[in-house]
């Protein structure tokens, strides 16, 4: 079988398939086509969408609500709804304090 190698570090593409690790930043460019196919197949996405803390139950609900309120405040800001921004900011601060108390933020 033909194996493709990184021009910078010499890492083989077959090694990526075995370990899902690359040898250097240039591997991303050298193996781009293959990496995208593998990511799409295994994760359904080809771009990083951020991390969410490993939470469950009430903690997850609180964190999800916190993120929702942040987005809603951003939309209210873009829409110039200043009274709504004030209320959302108060709600966000209250929720942030609870999340900090729980060690989530």
pLDDT for the residue 9 = 92
- pLDDT digit string (tens) for 26-48? 888 888 888 888 777 766 666 65
User: In which band, very low, low, confident or very high, does the pLDDT at 52 lie, cut at 50, 70 and 90?
Assistant: low
Q: DSSP letter at 5?
A: B
Q: Rounded to the nearest 5°, which phi and psi values hold at 3? A: -115, 140
- Rounded to an integer, the average pLDDT of 74-85 is 88
Give pTM, 2 decimals.
Answer: 0.50
Which range, of 10-19, 44-53, 81-90, averages the lowest pLDDT? 44-53
Q: Does residue 58 contact residue 104 with C-beta atoms inside 8 Å?
A: no
Q: Does residue 69 contact residue 86 with C-beta atoms inside 8 Å?
A: no
pLDDT for the residue 86 = 92
d(CA 19, CA 33): 17
């Amino acid at each position: 079988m033909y194996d493709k190698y990184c021009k910078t570090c010499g890492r083989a593409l077959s090694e990526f398939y075995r370990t899902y690790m690359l040898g250097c930043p240039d591997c991303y460019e050298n193996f781009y086509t293959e990496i995208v196919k593998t990511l799409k197949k295994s994760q359904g996405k080809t771009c990083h969408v951020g991390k969410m803390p490993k939470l469950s139950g009430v903690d997850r609900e609180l964190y999800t609500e916190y993120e929702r309120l942040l987005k809603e405040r951003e939309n209210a800001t873009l829409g110039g709804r200043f009274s709504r921004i004030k209320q959302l900011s108060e709600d966000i601060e209250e929720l942030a304090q609870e999340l900090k108390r729980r060690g989530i933020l």
